[in-house]
C-alpha cells in the first residue's frame, strides 16, 4: 500500500495530474482476526496521502462482520479525504441502500460509491444498480464471477486471453459497460493476473478500452499502470484532430462548422471534447491552445 501511494505521488509530479487512483484493500488485504488493526493502518495511510492524491478504500463485503467496523474506523475518520468507497460483492440496489445508510451513520453522505459486481445475479441487475444516484462506477469482479459458475466456466476464463473469448464472461463485461453508459456512470474493467506479461496486459487493456467500452481498468501490480494508461489514452493524431475541431467550434461560438469536408455540430463537439478530457486524464500533453481549459483538479481516469 505504501509503495502504491509513493508511486502515485511520483506520477503526479511527473504528469502534473493524478492519472490513477490507489485503492487500499481491506477485503483481501486484512489477515483473518486482524481486521481492526488493518483498518486502523488503512485510515492512517489515507490521512497521510499528499495533495492531489486520489485514494479510495475497498472495505469488507456487506455480509462480513467487519463491514460496519471498516466504515466506522476508516470512513468515520478520513472519509473526507477519500476519493470514493469501493464495496465488493454488491448484489442488488438494496445492498447499495445499505451502504448509503452505513455512510450516513458517519456523516459521509456525499462520498461516491463504487461497487464490484461479482456474480451472475449481480450482473443481471447491473442496469438497476448503475441507476442508483449514489453509485459512481461499476467494476467487474472476474475471478469471483467465474468461480460462481460451479465449474461451468473453465479456469481459462480467468486468463488474459480467455476472459475476452468465453461468451459468458464477455457478455457480463458488455452488460456492465452498457449499464454504466446508459446511466452516465464509469465502467471499470477487471484485473489481468499475469502481472509480469506486459504484452498480455497491454492487449487486454486495448480490448477493454476499444472493443468493450470501458473507461477505467484495475491494476494489481505497479508494472501494469503505464501499459493501462497507454492503452486508454487517445492517439496523438486523435488529440491533434480533436484540438483543431474544438478550436474551430469555439471560434464559431459552437455553431455547426465544416471541417475537412465534414459537418460537425454539438454532438460531435461533445465527442471530441471527451477525447481531450481522456488525453488529460491519462497524462498526455495537450496542445497549448487547449491547456488553459484544463486543470489538474479535474483529472480522474
Binding site, annotated residues:
58, 118, 144
**What span, in angstroms and rounded, lies between the C-alpha atoms of 91 and 96?**
9
**What span, in angstroms and rounded, lies between the C-alpha atoms of 285 and 277?**
11
Known binding residues for substrate: 58, 118
**What span, in angstroms and rounded, lies between the C-alpha atoms of 245 and 30?**
50
**What span, in angstroms and rounded, lies between the C-alpha atoms of 44 and 60?**
18
Are residues 298 and 274 in contact, defined by beta-carbon separation less than 8 angstroms? Answer: no
**What span, in angstroms and rounded, lies between the C-alpha atoms of 143 and 175?**
17
Are residues 163 and 138 in contact, defined by beta-carbon separation less than 8 angstroms? Answer: no
Query: With DSSP H G I counted as helix, E B as strand and the rest as coil, what are the percentages for the chain, rounded to 5?
Result: 50, 10, 35
Known binding residues for Mg(2+): 118, 144
Are residues 79 and 111 in contact, defined by beta-carbon separation less than 8 angstroms? Answer: yes
Are residues 220 and 195 in contact, defined by beta-carbon separation less than 8 angstroms? Answer: yes
**What span, in angstroms and rounded, lies between the C-alpha atoms of 80 and 87?**
17
**Which residue shows C-alpha cell 500500500?**
1
Task: Report helix angle 2-15 to 35-48, nearest 10.
Answer: 20
Calculate ∠ Cα 293-181-4, nearest 5°.
65
Amino acid at each position: 500500500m505504501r509503495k502504491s501511494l509513493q508511486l502515485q505521488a511520483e506520477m503526479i509530479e511527473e504528469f502534473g495530474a493524478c492519472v490513477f487512483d490507489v485503492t487500499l484493500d481491506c477485503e483481501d488485504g486484512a489477515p483473518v482476526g486482524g481486521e481492526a488493526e488493518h483498518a486502523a493502518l488503512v485510515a492512517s495511510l489515507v490521512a497521510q496521502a499528499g495533495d492531489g492524491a486520489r485514494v479510495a478504500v475497498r472495505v469488507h463485503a456487506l455480509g462480513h462482520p467487519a463491514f460496519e467496523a471498516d466504515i466506522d474506523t476508516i470512513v468515520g475518520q478520513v472519509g473526507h479525504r477519500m476519493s470514493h468507497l469501493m464495496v465488493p460483492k454488491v448484489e442488488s440496489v438494496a445492498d447499495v441502500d445499505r451502504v448509503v445508510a452505513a455512510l450516513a451513520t458517519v456523516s459521509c453522505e456525499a462520498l461516491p460509491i463504487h461497487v464490484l459486481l461479482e456474480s451472475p445475479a449481480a450482473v443481471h441487475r447491473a442496469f438497476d444498480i448503475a441507476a442508483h444516484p449514489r453509485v459512481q462506477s461499476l467494476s467487474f469482479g472476474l475471478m469471483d464471477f467465474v468461480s460462481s459458475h460451479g465449474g461451468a466456466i473453465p479456469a481459462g476464463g480467468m486468463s488474459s486471453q480467455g476472459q475476452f473469448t468465453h461468451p459468458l464472461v464477455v457478455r457480463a463485461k458488455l452488460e456492465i459497460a452498457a449499464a454504466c453508459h446508459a446511466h452516465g456512470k464509469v465502467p471499470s474493467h477487471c484485473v489481468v493476473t499475469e502481472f509480469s506479461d506486459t504484452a498480455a496486459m497491454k492487449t487486454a487493456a486495448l480490448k477493454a478500452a476499444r472493443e468493450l467500452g470501458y473507461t477505467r481498468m484495475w491494476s494489481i501490480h505497479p508494472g501494469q499502470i503505464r501499459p493501462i494508461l497507454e492503452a486508454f489514452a487517445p492517439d496523438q493524431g486523435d488529440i491533434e484532430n480533436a484540438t483543431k475541431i474544438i478550436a474551430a467550434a469555439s471560434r464559431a461560438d459552437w455553431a455547426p462548422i465544416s471541417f475537412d469536408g465534414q459537418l460537425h455540430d454539438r454532438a460531435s463537439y461533445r465527442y471530441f471534447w471527451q477525447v481531450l478530457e481522456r488525453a488529460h486524464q491519462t497524462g498526455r500533453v495537450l496542445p497549448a491552445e487547449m491547456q488553459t481549459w484544463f486543470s489538474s483538479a479535474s483529472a480522474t481516469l
